[in-house]
């Protein structure tokens, strides 16, 4: 099964819609609740990253029998120092993002924590790709 | 602790999910920072927050949190109620501060996560 969603930079009203849809699908597939929570928290964090930092983005979800793979691609500023961005507490989020309740520098580390595998590819001035994989058992 | 008791202790009004008031929650977590809420491994909890926006509801949805108390006399809006209702959540509004609400609930037996 494949699902695709668009994300708009700065749009905090619709942030979380893709995660919500993925949650519904996984529930229908009777996936373990703990695994669903891991998947949707990781995706929601990735969505918030795009909304907070990038101009636009796309979520591509692929679900098969034993795993879910999610690719979040954005057009944005990219990440100059990945090691620094992966460090809990390091944030470049604006004040307006912090006022929304985010931007504490926990996004990328929390994606790593909630996924079985995570890949990050970024190019400064172009954008970032985050690929997340969770197994169902 | 039943949600009904939480509402009574906090002198709270119920803006969504009145039918959930007999559900039990064991723990509480107070934060205006959703980034921190998303790092919790627990889900049988009530979130106590002064952050009144749609993302507070979204965060609770992703983290499997069934009840939120909005403190400091903040009022939820229609789109928040709609999203909470779709997800079977209970929303309470308390006139008390985050500190006072947390203190009263702790005193009444609601447990901290850490």
- Around Cβ A125, how many Cβ atoms within 10 Å? 8
Domains belonging to chain A, first-starting first, are: 2-135 (3.30.565.10)
* DSSP bridge partners of B46: B28, B67
**Residue carrying the six token digits 């997340």:** A132
- How high is the mean pLDDT of chain B? 96
Q: Is the pLDDT of residue A58 over 90?
A: yes
Q: Is the CB of B62 less than 8 angstroms away from the CB of A15?
A: no
- The predicted pLDDT at position B97 comes to 98
Convert the pLDDT of each residue in A12-49 to its tens digit: 999 999 999 999 999 999 999 999 999 999 999 999 99
Q: Is the CB of B34 less than 8 angstroms away from the CB of A101?
A: yes
pTM of the model: 0.95
A-chain residues near B36 (CB < 8 A) = 104, 106
CB-CB contact of B71 with B53 (8 Å): no
- Residues A38 and A43: their CA atoms lie apart, in Å, by 9
H helix or E strand, kind and range, residue A73 = strand A67-75
Convert the pLDDT of each residue in A63-116 to its tens digit: 999 999 999 999 999 999 999 999 999 999 999 899 899 998 899 999 999 999
- The predicted pLDDT at position B43 comes to 80
Mean pLDDT to the nearest integer, B101-114: 97
The correct answer on CATH 2.50.20.10 for the domain covering B3-112 is: no
Convert the pLDDT of each residue in B5-50 to its tens digit: 999 999 999 999 999 999 999 999 999 999 999 999 988 899 999 9
Helix or strand or coil: residue A55?
A: coil
Q: Is the CB of A102 less than 8 angstroms away from the CB of B34?
A: yes
């Amino acid at each position: 099964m494949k699902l695709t969603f668009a994300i708009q930079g700065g749009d905090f009203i619709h942030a979380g819609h893709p995660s919500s849809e993925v949650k519904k699908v996984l529930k229908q597939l009777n996936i373990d609740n703990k695994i669903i929570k891991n998947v949707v928290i990781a995706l929601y964090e990735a969505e918030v990253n795009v909304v907070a930092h990038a101009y636009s983005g796309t979520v591509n979800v692929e679900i098969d029998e034993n795993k879910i793979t999610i690719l979040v691609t954005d057009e944005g500023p990219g990440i100059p120092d990945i090691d620094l961005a992966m460090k809990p507490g390091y944030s470049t989020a604006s004040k307006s993002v912090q006022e929304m309740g985010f931007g504490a520098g926990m996004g990328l580390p929390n994606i790593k924590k909630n996924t079985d595998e995570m890949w990050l590819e970024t190019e400064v001035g172009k954008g970032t790709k985050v690929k997340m994989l969770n197994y169902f058992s | 602790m039943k949600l009904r008791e939480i509402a009574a202790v906090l002198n709270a009004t119920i803006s969504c999910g009145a039918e959930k008031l007999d559900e039990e929650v064991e723990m509480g977590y107070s934060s205006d920072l959703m980034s921190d809420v998303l790092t919790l491994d627990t889900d049988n909890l009530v979130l106590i927050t002064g952050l009144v926006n749609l993302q507070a509801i979204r965060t609770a949805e992703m983290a499997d949190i069934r009840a939120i108390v909005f403190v400091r006399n903040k009022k939820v809006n229609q789109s928040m109620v709609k999203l909470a209702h779709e997800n079977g959540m209970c929303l309470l509004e308390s006139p008390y501060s985050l500190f006072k609400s947390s203190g009263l609930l702790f005193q009444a037996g609601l447990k901290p996560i850490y």
